[in-house]
Amino acid sequence: MAGKFEISKRSNGEFQFNLKAGNGQVILTSEGYTQMAGCSNGIESVRKHSADDKFFQRKTAKDGSPYFTLVAGNGQVIGRSEMYSGNAACENGIASVKANAPDAAVVDLTAA
């Protein structure tokens, strides 16, 4: 099963997307967007930037858990991963974004 972007609305009314792997696991979550157009642009930015490893920033949370962010060419964060149990799992998450993002379908859950 292929990955997909799911667009939803936050409780504050902002739009966000989650990139899900084929198994349904969330592998990247966006920031909030005030307009649907901004959210759609964010998805296209993920598609564009996920092909190049230089746009993935590997980070460590305060509790020591590794995670990553995907940034645009201007350094703005496009999306953030979950916290991982170790560096190998984090690298697998990055590989999953690279594999799923380019051809992922977009599902708009706000229209339901």
- Please state the pTM of the whole predicted model: 0.93
Q: What would the mean pLDDT of 67-82 be, rounded to a whole number?
A: 95
> What pLDDT, on a 0 to 100 scale, did the predictor assign at position 2?
80
* First-to-final CA distance of the chain: 22
Q: What would the mean pLDDT of 53-67 be, rounded to a whole number?
A: 97
Asked if residue 77 has pLDDT above 90, the reply is yes
22-51 per-position pLDDT tens digit = 899 999 999 999 999 999 999 999 999 999
Number of Cβ within a 10 Å radius of residue 3: 22
